[in-house]
Amino acid sequence: MTINWFPGHMNKARRELAEALVRIDLVIEVVDARLPRSSENPMLAELRGDKPCIRILNRSDLADPIVTREWMEWFKATHEFVAITLNARQRGAVRGLPKLCRKLAPHRVAPGKAIRTMVVGIPNVGKSTLINTLVGRPIEEVGDRPAVTKGQHRIHLDNGISVADTPGVLWPKLEDQLGAHRLAASGAIRDTAFDYMEVAAFASHFLRERYPEVLRERFKLDAIPTGQYEILEAIGRRRGFLKSGGIVDVQRAAETLLRELRSGKIGRISFERPADFEPAP
């Protein structure tokens, strides 16, 4: 099954993003630290032009710290933006962001002027959480479903920063199906837009290849089967997901695997590393 999800309201969001960027001094792009390339907005570089950009690798507390350090070196080599790691839910971690904004937009640091920033990113990477943490109170609706934010808002902070939020934008066609499966496994795409069992099988194979010890320990597996669906069956059997006749409820095992993978219960996992995207910048 090809994963291809582009809700109609996002077509409008793309146009609004292009129009709004004209009035912006600095762009804050939020990506998922577990898959920073697959979760980036591929059209943003073209739309923002030469405006300075801060790329936030959010949910770094869920990502493999070794792989995250590799990504920071990778992005540093591009010279396209300033990359920082963050957990947007922690106020202390977000506190230094306004100072970085002032450093990158010094022409706006003056009495009566506000640095006009915009927070962008694909759905469900933590944009609204970041804005709520910056402001110090709930401003944006936050949920587990992708594309919760539906409208555009501008919030003026007390530190000379104004923040505009815009709905998440996902590209029209997910041509890179490997990246699409990574996004689906991470929770960035609605579950109704893909075959749940297929994505869970992809995730089980990925964990077997990249994080076998984590997979084995979390689900108490004596050995990890080679087949994707056999892994799900083994997980279901160990968790006691049995139907009448002793048949393993593989669907329930698939749901459990993805839920625990997305929440970080399995461990700190990165879905991709810079070496997956050769040549390096």
What domains lie within the chain, and their CATH numbers? 8-165 (3.40.50.300), 195-270 (1.10.1580.10)
pLDDT given for residue 148 in this prediction: 40
Instruction: Answer yes or no: are the C-beta atoms of 59 and 34 closer than 8 Å.
Output: yes
DSSP string, 128-148: HHHHHHHHTS--S---SSTT-
* pTM for this entry: 0.84
Q: Would you write out the chain's pLDDT as a tens digit for each of its 281 residues?
A: 666 555 555 566 677 778 888 889 999 999 999 999 999 877 788 888 888 999 999 999 999 999 999 999 999 888 778 999 988 677 777 878 888 988 888 887 777 788 889 888 887 888 888 888 777 765 555 444 444 444 456 777 777 888 886 655 655 456 678 888 999 999 988 787 788 899 999 999 999 999 999 999 999 999 999 999 999 999 999 999 999 999 999 999 999 999 999 999 999 999 999 999 876 55
User: Cα separation of 198 and 212, whole Å?
Assistant: 19
Contacts of 195 (CB under 8 A, 6+ apart): 1
DSSP H/E element including 117: strand 115-120
Q: How many residues does the chain have?
A: 281
